[in-house]
């Protein structure tokens, strides 16, 4: 009877240690997730604010340069000047659009959390196998 009691106590102790470890791992992963969400939020806000600043000042500079070029070259051919500037702005817009799509395609959210969860799953599969 004593061996059954001892093994039951060992089983209970082992289960408690396993549960504590599992809760600690879960807590660590949740903290990592929260930190990464905070970092992503700050990075996204920073990117949006920078993009708005670039857009606003770029638009102002573009309007000013366009007006200066049109006034300077108006006497030669107004239609040619306007079409040339339109073409240049169109090419610049397409280039920026391509860079934006590349940036969005390579954007990875919560990569460290996902990698850590994959490692945890592999470790648990190894232990339970």
pTM reported for the whole predicted model: 0.48
Q: Do 113 and 33 form a contact (C-beta atoms < 8 A)?
A: yes
- pLDDT per residue of the chain (129 residues) written in tens, 0 to 9: 456 666 878 877 888 888 888 888 888 888 888 888 898 899 889 989 998 999 999 899 889 988 898 899 889 888 888 888 889 889 988 998 899 888 888 777 777 777 877 888 888 778 776
Phi, psi of 85 (to 5 degrees): -65, -40
d(C-alpha 51, C-alpha 49), whole Å: 5
Q: Tell me the domain boundaries of the chain.
A: 2-128
- Scan for tokens 């990075």, then name that residue: 43
């Amino acid at each position: 009877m004593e061996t059954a009691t001892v093994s039951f106590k060992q089983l209970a102790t082992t289960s408690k240690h396993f549960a504590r470890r599992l809760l600690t791992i879960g807590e660590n992963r949740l903290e990592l997730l929260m930190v990464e969400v905070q970092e992503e939020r700050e990075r996204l806000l920073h990117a949006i604010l920078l993009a708005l600043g670039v857009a606003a000042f770029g638009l102002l500079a573009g309007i000013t340069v366009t007006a200066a070029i049109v006034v300077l070259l108006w006497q030669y051919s107004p239609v040619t000047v306007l079409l040339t500037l339109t073409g240049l702005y169109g090419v610049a817009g397409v280039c920026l659009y391509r860079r934006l799509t590349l940036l969005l395609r390579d954007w990875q959210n919560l990569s460290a959390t996902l990698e850590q969860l994959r490692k945890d799953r592999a470790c648990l599969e190894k232990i339970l196998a």
